[in-house]
Structure formats: structure tokens, C-alpha cells
Structure 1
Amino acid sequence: MKLGIGSYTYPYSVAGSAGGGRRLTALGVVERARRLGVRVVQFCDNLPLTGLSEAELAQFETAVREAGLAVELGTRGLGDAEGLRRHLELAVRLGTPFVRLVVDGGGYEPSPGECVARLREWLPEFRAAGVKLALENHDRFTCRMLEQIIQQTDPEWVGICLDTVNSFGALEGPEVVVSRLARYTLNLHLKDFVIRRVPNQLGFVVRGCPVGEGRLDVPWVLGQLREAGRDVNAIIELWTSLEEAAADAWTVEEAWAEASVRYARQWIEQ
């Protein structure tokens, strides 16, 4: 298991809503990974490498090679044929073993049956390229639905990008998610959270925090994956607090990333 960061470690900085209007680039994420001493960088739909020109991509490859980093890719939209194919081609070029996929995108929210049908259409191309598909438990599907999709396609080539918080949207917490999906996991999004009552006491909010400062039992999550025989990379993702980031998201996200890496290093040495 290797520790990594990605484009969703710095969501506001990547979006250009950080202090001073600065926008974090792909090369900027690589530089931060180098400074933090992690081994993996993951680029998802908020900062797709498919948007780079050939010259920019060549520069990116040089930077990654010099930093000794592995690259992982993620995209969104099972209905986006062009986007999926471009990510597959780029995965082959960069030596990425899987493409993380959020199935919803562009207003298209396929049913589990539609997901199975479309994945079966794509599987021959992915198998031929030696690249797997990692479906993220993004929120709409329960773990049981995701498991059924995998079983009805090909568990050798379709797995899970396991996010430790997203499934609250499907009324399932980390214990349920990890216990059910660990055996299919190809990648881990290590994301911590707190649950607090709103000021008037009429409801709760789920908010992000640096890894190690919330309610996620990180040693248990990693232990469950290891027990399931899944030697997967752990990518730190952050739901940065809008209130804390309003003045200078750039500084806040850097601080959260540093704290998260420092904490995770207790259990992930590489």
C-alpha cells in the first residue's frame, strides 16, 4: 500500500477559488506530492489530464518521472464515450492500472441495469488494454447495488474505488461500506469527517476534516483491506470546509494535506 494525494486533496485550489484567485495545476499537484513525500498522484474529473496539450503532457511525464511518482486517473460519466476512451488511452500511456469512474455525469444517472449493459460494452477494450475499471461509491448506489453490478460484469476487471464518506448519501456509513466492498477494492479514497448538530439542534451536518481529526477509524479501514488481501493505494481526499477556506483556501488546503499525510504515515509507510 502506498500513500498518495490527488486533485481532490485540493478541491478549491484546483477550481481557482483559493486566495488570490490562484489555480492549482497538474504540475502543481506533482510538486506538492514531491514535497509531501508521497508516492502516488491521482487526477480526477476536476483536473483531467486529458485536457493537457501534447507539449504539456510531455512536460508532466518528465516531472512525474523525476519525482518518482505513480499516476492514477479518474473520470466521470459512464455515458461519456469520448471521455472514457481518452482516459483509457492515457492510462495505457502512463502505465495506470485502472481508471476510477463515477458513473453519473452530464445529467445521465443510469440504473444498475444500464450500468451493467454499458460496462459490458466497454470491457473488451479495457481488458485488451490491461486496464481495470474502479467504480466509486459516489452516493446514489448502495453497496449491495454496486456489488451486483460488479458480479454481473466481471469482478476481475471491474472493482471499487472505495470512498470512506460518500456513501452517507445512500444511508451507509464506513463500517457497512468497507465490510461489504473491501474484497472488490482497487483504490482507497482516505477521507475523514465529523458529524455535528446544526446550531438550532434540528438536524446534523457531515463535514470534512484533516485525516486523523475526525471519526474515521483509519487503522480499522486499512486493516480490513489488508485482511481482504487488497494491497491498494490510499489517496487522501479532503472535503475542505468552505467557512475555513473562504479567506485563503490555498493555505488551508495545504495545511490540511500536510496534517493528513503526517497522520496517515503512522500506518502507511510507503
Structure 2
Amino acid sequence: MTIGLSTYAFFWQWHPTSPEPIDLADMIDRTADLGATLFQICDYPLVEEYDAAALRALRTRAERRDVELELGTRGVAPDHLARYLDLARALDVTLVRSMLTTDRDNAVSALRQALPAFEKAGVTVALETYEKVPTATLVDVVVAVDSPALGICLDPANCVAALEHPTDTVEKTAPWVRNIHVKDFAFTRKDGWVGFTLAGCPLGEGLLDYPAMVAAVRPAEHGVNQVIEHWLPWQGDSRTTRDLENHWTATNLDTLRSWNQ
């Protein structure tokens, strides 16, 4: 089991709102400087445009900084997954997180077509829990495909928007979890007490029942990596948001490490 960071830990710094966006090499360096040894390139479509030389340079950068890479995308169309398998081979990646963007039957068909190549390459596809797909359906897809190269990326916060309790999400998915996105979250009242906002918060200050999640999944026993993400709301300007994002990243790493000692 390894603790690492995601592109979502630097979201506002590579986002177009940043006056000086950082790139993947910068994020790898930031990850290494914080003492983390895993970086997940997740929902960062620019990596799909990298040519062979750029991919070699990125892999070399990660190797020199002792940072393992993972990938993340959306969709399970065979041609799209094949492209990410090519990227995985080029970057020495063994896990690709994805998300279902089609119905159950089409997903099963597409994954059965795509996964033999992943099995041969020793690369796992981990489908993330999120509000667009009921957790029971996601599990059903994984069970139906029945491939050693297919599992689940657990993020219990995502399913709250579909009125699924995080504990239920954890319990339903635990046997198939191959990757964990660790982010805390909380509800706050909106102005005038009209409705709520569900957003991120520093790890340990919100509703994530981390001990229960770890007890169910047992990541250390099963070699499941834990990747820190944030749901950090925009703070009104780029500098303030960047500074708070960096603070959350450093403190959340410290918190997660202390919990796993």
C-alpha cells in the first residue's frame, strides 16, 4: 500500500483559472518534495496529447524523483481504454482509474472486449464510485465481467449526491476495491439557511469515516493505494485558492500518514 497525491490535489493550480498553470512535471516534483511516492494523473486530458518523447521525459522525471505513476480517465469504450493502456505501458503504470459513462450492458460488453489486453499487460482498471451510477450497478458490472484486471476505485463521498450513504458504498464495494480516493467532506448551510453545500474540508474534520473504510477494505493487506484528492471550493482569487490548496495537501498527507502508522 502506498499513499500518494492526485492531480485533484493541485486542481486549481493547473486549471485555466491559474495565471501560471503548472504541468505534470511540476506536480511530480511537488509530490516528491512532500515525501509522497505516488502520483495519479487523473482526469488530465492533456496527457493524451503527449507524444512518445514527452511520455519518456515524464516517466524519466517520475523515476528520478522516485514517484510511481497511476492514470485516471473516464469511459470504457474499447478504443479509449486501448489508448490509456498505451499510455500505461509508456509510463510504467499498473492502474488506470476510470468511470462508467454508459449503461450496464454496454459497459459489460465494452469491458469484456478491452480487458484481455489489460490482463496480458498486468494493468488494472478501477471503476470509480460516483453519483451517476448506483453502487449496486457498478458492483454488478465488475462481477459480470469477472476479470482479474477489473476492480473498483472507492470514493464514498461521490455517492452522497445520489442519496447513498458512504458507509453503504464502502460495504458494497469492499471486496473489489483496488484503489481509494481519500477526501473528506462536509455539509454547510447556505446563506439564509436555504439549502446546503456539500464540499471538501481538511482530512479528519468532516464526515468521512476513515477507520471504518480501512477496516472494510484493508488496503495495507491487499496492496491498495490511497490517493489524496480535494473538493476545495474556489476562494475568490487564484493566489488565496492556491495557498489553501497547498496547505490542505500538506496537512492531509501528514494526517493520512499518521492514521496509517
Q: Same fold (TM over 0.5)?
A: yes
CA distance 1:102–1:197, shift in 2 (3 Å): same
Q: What is the rounded CA distance, in whole Å, between the counterparts of 2:39 and 2:219 in structure 1?
A: 25
Which of 214, 229, 238 is matched with 1:237 structurally? 229
Partner of 2:207: 215
Whether 1:35 aligns to 2:33 is yes
Is the alpha carbon distance of 1:48 and 1:179 closer, same or farther for their aligned partners in structure 2, counting shifts above 3 Å?
farther
Give the equivalent residue in structure 2 for 1:147.
139
Residues 186-240 of structure 1: CA deviation (Å, up to 9, x unaligned): 1000011011222222322211112222221222222221189532110000011
Question: Given residue 201 of structure 2, which amino acid in structure 1 is its aligned partner?
Answer: C
Q: 1:11 is matched with which residue?
A: 11
Higher relative contact order (CA 8 A, sep 6+): 1
Contact 1:4 1:236 in 2 (8 A): yes
What is the match of residue 51 of structure 1?
A: 49
SS in 1 for 2:260: coil
The residue number in structure 1 matching 2:112 is 120
- Determine if contact 2:12/2:238 at 8 Å carries over to the other structure: no
For residue 107 of structure 1, what is the aligned residue in structure 2? none
- Greater helix proportion: 2
Q: CA deviation at 1:59?
A: 2.0
* Residue from 124, 130, 133 that aligns with 1:132: 124
1:253 paired to 2:241: no
Q: Describe the superposition over 1:76-104 as per-residue Cα deviations: whole angstroms up to 9, x where unpaired.
A: 1223x443212101212333222111122
* TM-score with structure 2 setting the length: 0.92
1:77 maps to 2:69: no
Does the aligned pair in 1 maintain the 2:156–2:167 contact within 8 Å? no
Q: 1:85 to 1:103 in 2, by over 3 A?
A: same
Alignment partner of 1:243: what SS? coil
Q: Give the whole-Å Cα distance in 2 for the aligned partners of 1:228 and 1:5.
A: 17
Q: Supply the AA of the counterpart residue of 1:196.
A: T
- 1:155-196 deviation line (CA, Å, top 9, x unaligned): 522110111311112211221111111110110000110112
- In the TM superposition, what is the alpha-carbon distance from 1:26 to its structure 2 partner? 0.4
Aligned partner of 1:225 among 209, 217, 223: 217
1:55-87: CA deviations, max 9, x gaps? 3222212211111111101111223x4432121
Aligned residue for 1:116, secondary structure, equals: helix
Question: 1: CA distance between counterparts of 2:69 and 2:213?
Answer: 23
Give the corresponding residue for 1:160.
152
Question: What letter corresponds to residue 10 of structure 2 in structure 1?
Answer: Y
Q: In structure 2, how many angstroms separate the alpha carbons of the residues matched to 1:84 and 1:72? A: 14
Relative distance call for 1:38 and 1:172 in structure 2 (3 A) is: same
Q: Which amino acid is 2:50 matched to?
A: L
Partner of 1:93: 90
Distance 1:205 1:57 in 2: 39
